[in-house]
Amino acid sequence: MLKPLFMEPYFNEKDWGGTRLARIYGKHIPSDHTGESWEVSAHSMGLSCCEGKTLPQWIETYGSKLVGTEVTGEFPLLIKLIDAREWLSVQVHPDDAYAQRVEGDPYGKTEAWVVLDCEPGAQLIFGIDCDVETLRSEIAQGRLEQHLKKVDVKPGDVLYIPSGTVHAIGANMLIYEVQQSSDRTYRLYAWGRNAQLHIEKSLDVIVPERGGKPMQGVKLDVKGGTREIMVLDLCFALERITANGTMPLTTDGTRFFAYTAISGGTVAWEGGERAYQAGDSFLIPASLGKYTLSGGVLYKSYFPNVKATEEELTALGVDLKLVGGNR
């Protein structure tokens, strides 16, 4: 029987990266400019591994027993921890249709962020204050920066960032990110750094009304702790799990669950158990059945059956208007 897969990440070194992944989570980073830890990834640009096998190799061996019957194409999610020592470039991502038509990619890029660590007064960019044609003219005049919406954030804030949203991570910030399995980024602005820009493609895909403020989400008291529903999108769902006691959970064969722990605890299943530490990421196979989480705060991401999940949440009394996502 499959057991939870504890993943070994792929590290991405960046000029803007730092050392938070080592200092906060004890990760063995390759340098003091480590920007990204690809925690759960089947993307060819950076594969995560478990017990010497890449995630695609695990999927090839176990198929739907691992990923579930709802996943019929390529592995749909990419989960990262991002350490931004400096401001990242101002970016926007295409949707599925544009990515497939223009780039030949299987997926566009909708994502969500959780602020894990930042300094008081931290900000990031989340939207613009004008239409696309105005933005085109302002870029030509070197006035893009004045149209970027800066948002105050603090640890624990969650932001839902659908494709077409102008955004940028601020300086001195540690982020959990769940996204579609894509590395396609169009840069609008790079703060004077020497980075390739993609102005025309960016203008093609920007949806100017997207942006705003962090998600409120909905908190549910469940046996063993709390479950906060933050995002339910066609691309992924995101929950924050707080296991104050022992939380019973189960899989039904239709979907996997990916967890990243922010504090330590234990996952147990029929035939075994394993402790997790802050910064650990593990996959719960779709075929695992009953399992428990004991202790810790974790972020849980999965590829949703949206209709079934909406019905489940409605039955629990959740106001779906408070949950982010395109449904």
Residues marked active site are found at 187
Taking the chain, what is the end-to-end CA distance rounded to the nearest angstrom? 34
Alpha carbon 240 to its chain centroid, in Å, reads 12
Q: Which of 295, 316, 118, 307 is nearest to 228 (CA)?
A: 316
DSSP 130-156: S-HHHHHHHHHTT--GGGEEEEE--TT
Report the C-alpha gap between 227 and 223 in whole angstroms: 10
Is there a contact between 324 and 112 (Cβ–Cβ < 8 Å)? yes
d(CA 111, CA 324): 11
Give the residue from 279, 296, 299 showing the smallest Cα distance to 243: 296
Phi-psi category of residue 325: left, alpha or beta, with phi > 0 → left and psi -120 to 50 → alpha: left
Q: Is 180 helix (H, G, I), strand (E, B) or coil?
A: strand
Q: What is the 3 state secondary structure string of 107-137? A: CCCCEEEEEEEECCCCEEEEEECCCHHHHHH
Q: Which amino acid is at 109?
A: K
Identify the H or E element spanning 42. none
Residues 266/274, Cβ–Cβ less than 8 Å: yes
Retrieve residue 264's tokens. Answer: 């330590």
Q: Which structure tokens are listed for 180?
A: 């579609």
Which residues make Cβ contacts (< 8 Å) with residue 148, sequence separation at least 6?
Answer: 90, 125, 127, 128, 166, 168, 189
